[in-house]
Amino acid sequence: GQQVQQSPASLVLQEGENAELQCNFSTSLNSMQWFYQRPGGSLVSLFYNPSGTKHSGRLTSTTVIKERRSSLHISSSQTTDSGTYLCALERSFNKLTFGAGTRLAVCP
C-alpha cells in the first residue's frame, strides 16, 4: 500500500483563510520534506523537517514521528499560494517517497 498519504486531495480557500495540510506515513523515516509545485511544474523545497516545528513566513511545518504524521499550516492565504503541495519522506540515503499531493486553489 501507499507509504505516504496526503489529505485533503484538493482544497479551495478564500484569500485570507488558513489551511492545514496533512501527511501520514506508514513506515519509519529519516526525515520529512515539504515541496510546493507551481502550476506548470517545477518544485520548490519548503521545509526539511525531520521532527518538531519549523516556521517560514506564513508557513509552519510540524512533524511528529511517533504519530507518523506531518502537517503544513498556511496562514492568511494568498492567491499566489495556489498550486500543489507535496510531502516526501526519506527512507534512507536520500531516497524520497512522495505523497500524491494536495491541490490548493486560493480565490480572491
Enumerate binding residues for another protein (CB under 8 A).
Answer: 4, 30-31, 33, 35, 41-45, 48, 86, 88, 90, 93-101
Nearer to another protein, 80 or 94 (CB): 94
CB of 5 to another protein, least distance (A): 10
Nearer to another protein, 1 or 41 (CB): 41
Contact 50, 62 (CB under 8 A): no
Contact 22, 75 (CB under 8 A): no
CB of 42 to another protein, least distance (A): 5
CB of 58 to another protein, least distance (A): 20
Closest by CA to 19, choosing from 69, 71, 56, is 71
Nearer to another protein, 83 or 101 (CB): 101
Q: Which helix (H) or strand (E) holds 43?
A: strand 43-48
Cα 8 from Cα 92, distance rounded (Å): 27
